[in-house]
């Protein structure tokens, strides 16, 4: 009788253990299945592709500057120097100018201050300025000295109503007589004679 009770107890205990083991196995299997079947979601991170810089095959160069040559030597001007030209250095010297009296009979000396750079040229300009009138004017002049002979070349202004040939004897004396006396009387210039031309053509007085 006791043996049967022990057998039954053992059987019941075995059955319970088997049942418990089965349940535990099913739970573990379910958990494992759940873990396997549940997908792991990872956040979608958009990765922008890094742009690659392709080196240009054409070198970057600034356009070359256009260099224009220039001349430091000026070409001689066709225009004659103006009688109102200013002194370059600013230094002056005294010379004797001769101008005609009102009767055109005598040349009167007076002292004038001129540039030391071109004293002769400026002295001529001062005399010419006094001879300009409403209907006769000179636009320029040039003086050239060779072997003691000074050649004064004159240019008539385009606006001048009269020409040199139309000057009276008094006007000729006041202009040409004053120039000749001034150039020959200033001994520092060493001029013994004076010629007059108009555009390189000799003026016959």
Residue 70 lies in a domain: no
What's the pLDDT score for residue 58?
A: 47
Q: pLDDT band at residue 141, thresholds of 50, 70 and 90?
A: very high
Question: Is residue 138 in some structural domain?
Answer: yes
Residue 73 lies in a domain: no
**Residue at 62 is within a domain:** no
The CA distance from 171 to 153, in Å, is: 17
What is the tally of structural domains in the chain? 1
Residue-number span of the structural domain to which 163 is assigned: 92-202
- In terms of Cα–Cα distance, which of 172, 191, 185 is closest to 110? 185
- For residue 98, is it within any domain? yes
Task: Say yes or no to pLDDT of 139 above 70.
Answer: yes
For 35, the token pair is 């873990």
Q: What H or E segment, with its residue span, contains residue 171?
A: helix 169-172
Are the C-beta atoms of residues 193 and 148 closer than 8 Å to each other?
yes
Q: Which residues contact 188 (CB under 8 A, 6 or more apart)?
A: none
Task: For residue 7, give the DSSP letter.
Answer: H
Phi and psi of 104, rounded to 5°? 60, 40
185 and 96 Cβ atoms separated by less than 8 Å: yes
For residue 157, give the CATH number of its domain.
3.30.300
Q: Is position 174 within any domain?
A: yes
pTM recorded for the entire structure: 0.58
10: helix, coil or strand?
helix
pLDDT band at 123; cut points 50, 70, 90: very high
Mean pLDDT of 16-20: 62
């Amino acid at each position: 009788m006791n043996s049967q009770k022990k057998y039954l107890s053992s059987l019941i205990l075995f059955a319970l253990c088997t049942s418990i083991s089965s349940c535990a196995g099913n739970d573990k299997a379910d958990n494992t299945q759940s873990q396997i079947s549940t997908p792991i979601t990872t956040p979608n991170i958009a990765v922008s592709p890094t742009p690659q810089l392709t080196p240009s095959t054409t070198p970057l160069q600034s356009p070359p500057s256009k260099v224009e040559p220039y001349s430091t030597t000026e070409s001689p001007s066709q225009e004659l120097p103006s009688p109102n030209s200013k002194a370059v250095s600013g230094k002056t010297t005294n010379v004797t100018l001769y101008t005609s009296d009102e009767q055109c009979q005598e040349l009167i000396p007076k002292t004038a201050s001129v540039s030391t750079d071109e004293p002769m040229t400026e002295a001529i300009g001062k005399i010419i300025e006094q001879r300009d009138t409403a209907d006769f004017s000179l636009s320029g002049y040039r003086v050239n000295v060779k072997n003691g002979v000074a050649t004064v070349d004159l240019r008539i202004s385009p606006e001048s109503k009269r020409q040199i040939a139309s000057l009276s004897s008094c006007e000729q004396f006041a202009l040409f007589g004053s120039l000749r006396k001034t150039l020959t009387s200033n001994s520092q210039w060493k001029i013994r004679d004076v010629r007059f031309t108009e555009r390189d053509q000799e003026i016959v007085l």
